[in-house]
C-alpha cells in the first residue's frame, strides 16, 4: 500500500459507508410509506372534512339544526321541549343539549324501545319538534367514525397507534433523505417537468419537509385515541383509574359508572367516576330538569352545554361542555334532589399532562385558534395527500418491471445498528409499533434471503 492509495482507500470506505447508510434509511422509508400512506390519505381527507364539522352539519342538517331567530321572543322551557320530543318519539329522555346560539335548535336524546337512541331536534322558540336522527347520526359523526376506523371494529383502533408510530419514522427517515448533499435542486425548489421522475421526487421532498412537522404533531396528538398506548396513558394520567386531579376534593359518594359512559367528555376525564346523589336517602323530591338547568346557567356553563338526566334514585344531573375555548371546558354534577354541586371541574383543574394532551387534542380538532387553526390544518391535510400521491407516482416511474422496487439492501449490515436502536426505542414507547417493527424486520430478512437464493 502506498501513500497515494491510503487516502483513496479511506475516502472510498467513507463513501461506501455513507451510501450504505443512505440505502438503509431509504429502504425503511419505503417500508414506512408502504404501510402508512394509505392510512394517511384516508385520515387526511376525513380529518380535513371534520375540521369544519359544525359548518358542514349546519348546512347538511339545516332543517334540523337551524331555526329562525326571534328577537325578544320567549323560549320554551327545557321540560316542555323534552315533553314534545317524547310525544313525538315515545321513550326515556336521557340527555338535553341546549342551543349553542340563537339560531340553533335544542337536541333531546331519547332512548326508544324499537329505534334505539334518537337525537330529537326541537325549535326552542315554539317548542315544535323539527325531526329526529339516530343518536350521533349526523354526516359529521359518520366522518368521525371513518376517521377513527370505528366502523371496522374496536381492534382497528390499534391501527391508529401503528400508523402514528410509522408516520413519525416516515418523517425522520424522510428528513435524512431530503438533507442537502451538494445538489442545487430538490431542497426548496422543484426541478424538471411532470413527465420526469425528478419532478415528482422534488415535489415529494419539498412538500414533505414543510408538512413533516404537522404529520408528527397530528400523529402524537392522535395517539390518545389509540387502542393500547392511548388507553394505558389515559389510565395513568387519570391516576388509579379515578379521573379527578389529586388536588380536587371529592368527599361525596361515588358510583362505579365512568363519565365517558354517560356523557361525551374530554380525554382526560374518560375514567372519572360519576358521583351519587346523597340526598335520596332523606326522601327528598327531585328538583327537575328546569331547576337543574337554571342552576347550571347560574354557575356560568358555556352555551350549548349538555345535561345528562338521572335515571336512578342515586343519579345526578351532569352538565358538560367542551367549546373551542379550552378554558371554558367544564363538568358539573348536581345532586338531583338538593341541586347542590357535588363536583365542579374545569380545564384549570387538570394536571400538567392532562392540560398538555387536551391542548394538543383541541388543536388536532381545529378548535384552539379558530378559523386560522382550521385553515392551517386544511392546508396540511391537502399537502399530506399530495405527499402520498407524489410518492406513488415517483415509485411507479422508478420501479423495475415485475418488481416492487424495494430500495437495495446495504452491503454492510452494520449500518442497521443505529437504525435498529431508534426502531427499538420507538417500539418501547409505542408497543404495537414495536410489534409491527419486529414483523417487518422478519419479512425484510425473509425477502432478502429469498432474493439471494433466486440470484444464486
**pLDDT of amino acid 6:** 38
Residues 129-146 have pLDDT tens digits of 999 999 999 999 999 999
Q: What stretches of 250-329 adopt beta strand conformation (E)?
A: 254-258, 273-275, 306-308, 316-321
User: Where exactly are the structural domains of the chain?
Assistant: 23-51+150-226+371-455, 62-137, 246-349
**pLDDT of amino acid 135:** 94
**pLDDT of amino acid 11:** 43
The whole-angstrom distance between residue 187's C-alpha and the CA centroid of its chain comes to: 31
Q: What is the pTM for the complete model shown?
A: 0.86
| Residue 251 near residue 244 (C-beta atoms within 8 A) | no
Q: Which residue positions in the chain have pLDDT lower than 50? A: 1-14, 241, 247
Q: Find, among 383, 327, 381, the residue nearest to 50 by Cα.
A: 381
**pLDDT of amino acid 251:** 59
Residue with cell 371513518: 146
**pLDDT of amino acid 67:** 96
CA distance 305 to 327: 14
Q: What is the topology classification, in CATH, of domain 62-137?
A: Nuclear Transport Factor 2; Chain: A, (3.10.450)
Q: How many CB atoms lie within 10 A of CB 180?
A: 9
**pLDDT of amino acid 428:** 75
Amino acid at each position: 500500500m502506498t501513500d497515494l492509495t491510503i487516502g483513496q482507500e479511506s475516502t472510498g470506505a467513507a463513501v461506501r459507508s455513507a451510501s450504505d447508510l443512505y440505502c438503509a434509511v431509504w429502504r425503511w422509508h419505503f417500508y414506512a410509506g408502504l404501510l402508512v400512506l394509505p392510512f394517511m390519505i384516508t385520515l387526511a381527507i376525513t380529518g380535513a372534512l371534520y375540521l369544519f364539522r359544525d359548518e358542514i352539519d349546519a348546512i347538511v342538517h339545516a332543517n334540523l339544526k337551524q331555526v329562525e331567530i326571534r328577537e325578544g321572543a320567549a323560549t320554551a322551557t327545557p321540560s316542555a321541549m323534552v315533553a314534545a320530543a317524547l310525544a313525538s318519539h315515545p321513550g326515556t329522555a336521557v340527555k338535553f343539549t341546549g342551543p349553542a346560539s340563537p339560531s340553533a335548535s335544542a337536541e333531546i336524546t331519547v332512548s326508544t324501545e324499537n329505534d334505539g337512541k334518537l337525537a330529537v331536534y326541537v325549535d326552542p322558540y315554539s317548542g315544535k319538534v323539527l325531526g329526529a336522527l339516530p343518536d350521533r347520526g349526523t354526516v359529521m359523526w359518520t366522518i368521525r367514525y371513518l376517521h377513527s376506523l370505528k366502523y371496522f371494529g374496536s381492534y382497528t383502533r390499534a391501527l391508529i397507534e401503528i400508523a402514528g408510530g410509522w408516520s413519525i419514522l416516515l418523517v425522520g427517515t424522510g428528513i435524512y433523505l431530503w438533507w442537502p448533499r451538494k445538489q442545487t435542486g430538490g431542497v426548496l425548489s422543484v426541478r424538471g417537468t411532470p413527465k420526469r421522475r425528478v419532478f415528482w421526487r422534488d415535489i415529494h421532498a419539498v412538500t414533505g419537509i414543510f408538512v413533516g412537522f404537522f404529520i408528527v404533531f397530528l400523529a402524537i396528538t392522535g395517539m390518545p385515541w389509540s387502542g393500547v398506548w392511548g388507553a394505558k396513558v389515559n389510565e395513568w394520567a387519570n391516576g388509579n383509574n379515578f379521573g379527578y386531579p389529586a388536588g380536587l376534593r371529592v368527599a361525596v359518594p361515588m358510583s362505579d359508572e365512568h363519565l365517558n359512559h354517560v356523557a361525551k367528555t374530554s380525554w382526560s376525564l374518560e375514567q372519572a367516576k360519576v358521583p351519587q346523589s346523597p340526598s335520596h336517602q332523606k326522601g327528598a323530591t327531585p328538583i327537575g330538569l328546569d331547576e337543574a338547568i337554571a342552576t347550571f346557567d347560574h354557575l356560568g356553563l358555556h352555551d350549548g352545554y349538555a345535561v345528562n338526566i338521572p335515571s336512578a334514585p342515586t343519579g345526578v344531573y351532569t352538565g358538560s361542555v367542551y367549546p373551542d375555548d379550552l378554558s371554558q371546558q367544564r363538568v358539573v354534577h348536581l345532586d338531583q334532589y338538593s341541586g347542590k354541586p357535588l363536583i365542579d371541574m374545569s380545564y384549570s383543574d387538570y394536571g400538567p399532562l392532562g392540560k398538555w394532551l387536551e391542548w394538543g387534542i383541541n388543536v388536532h380538532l381545529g378548535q384552539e385558534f379558530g378559523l386560522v387553526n382550521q385553515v392551517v390544518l386544511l392546508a396540511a391535510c391537502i399537502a399530506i395527500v399530495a405527499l402520498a400521491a407524489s410518492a406513488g407516482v415517483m415509485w411507479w416511474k422508478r420501479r423495475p418491471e415485475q418488481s416492487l422496487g424495494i430500495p437495495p439492501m446495504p452491503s454492510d449490515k452494520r449500518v442497521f445498528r443505529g437504525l435498529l436502536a431508534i426502531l427499538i426505542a420507538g417500539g418501547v414507547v409505542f408497543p404495537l409499533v414495536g410489534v409491527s417493527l419486529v414483523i417487518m424486520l422478519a419479512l425484510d430478512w425473509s425477502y432478502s434471503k429469498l432474493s439471494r437464493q433466486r440470484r444464486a
